[in-house]
Structure 1
């Protein structure tokens, strides 16, 4: 399957829940979600490419690469669990793991501060997604 098709499927999953009946008042409109994710993934890719140039400077390089890849896999998993399957508590736990794995941004700061800073908006957006996830969860358990 071409990468562009995978991205479109991922974006389609994101829109599924964002068009549901309940929406928190602070939730951005669905048309903005896809472009924001595209910008964030671009920033993450640039960050990772900068980080790769520092391979000889960082002793724990392999650990950071593993954390980065786990974080990406968890992020894609979260989209499906939250949007398609609508497992709100499971998606919250996955987001917690995503946030934990972004510790790599702090681990690389000393050697690649620009690469680290490029990940910070992603971390903020994931935290915001967590707040939205909590709002859906609280609405779900009170209904």
Structure 2
């Protein structure tokens, strides 16, 4: 592995951090746009398990997770040379796309069964991302653990909603 891309605190480094976090929040925003009408019209009509969190929990949790994801990706980008970072960041980008795909499947298409398939793929991709990040930056891996825990819970919730409806 070669030297870091830039020293912490430089303008380029801070711009890269802002871009990384911004991309993750942007994906979250796209997911929110796909979700908005269904949350108001369709989702309230579904039978949900007793452990379903109140709707107000999702926004703050996802915002925090997207910020941590962005910081994790930035740390990997910063800590590794281009060749070393390419694989982990490619898998990170793929999981981010699948994350958006889950919102499309569940809320956009209103298809909890399809969403179960997508979220299981997401679980595996986030786990793979965390393991790949670990090889580059241990803290980046730890930043993904809350995300992994949340989507594991979301998987159980998704399966329950699918089964109840």
Task: Please state which band the TM-score falls in when normalised by the shorter chain.
Answer: 0.7 to 0.9
Deviation at 1:15, TM superposition (A): 3.0
Q: How does 1:14-29 map to 2 (within 5 A)?
A: 15-16=39-40, 18-29=43-54
The residue aligned with 1:84 is 108
Question: What displacement does 1:89 show?
Answer: 1.8
Count of residues paired in the alignment: 138
Larger Rg: 1 or 2? 2
Alignment RMSD, CA only? 2.4
Question: What 5-or-longer segments of structure 2 have no aligned partner?
Answer: 1-25
Instruction: State the match for 2:145 in structure 1.
Output: 120
Q: 1:5 to 1:137 in 2, by over 3 A?
A: closer
**CA shift at 1:99, angstroms?**
1.2
1:100-139 to 2 correspondences below 5 Å: 100-102=124-126, 103-139=128-164
Preserved CA contact (<8 Å) 1:18 1:30 = no
Q: Which runs of 5+ in 1 are unaligned?
A: none
Partner residue in 2 for 1:62: 86
Segment drifting more, 17-26 vs 44-53: 17-26
Selected match of 2:67 from 37, 42, 45: 42
Q: Name the TM-score, length of structure 1 as normaliser.
A: 0.84
**Deviations, residues 88-125 of structure 1 (Å, cap 9, x unaligned):** 22111111111111112112213311111000100111
After the TM superposition, which segments of 4 or more aligned residues of structure 1 sit over 4 Å from their partners?
2-5
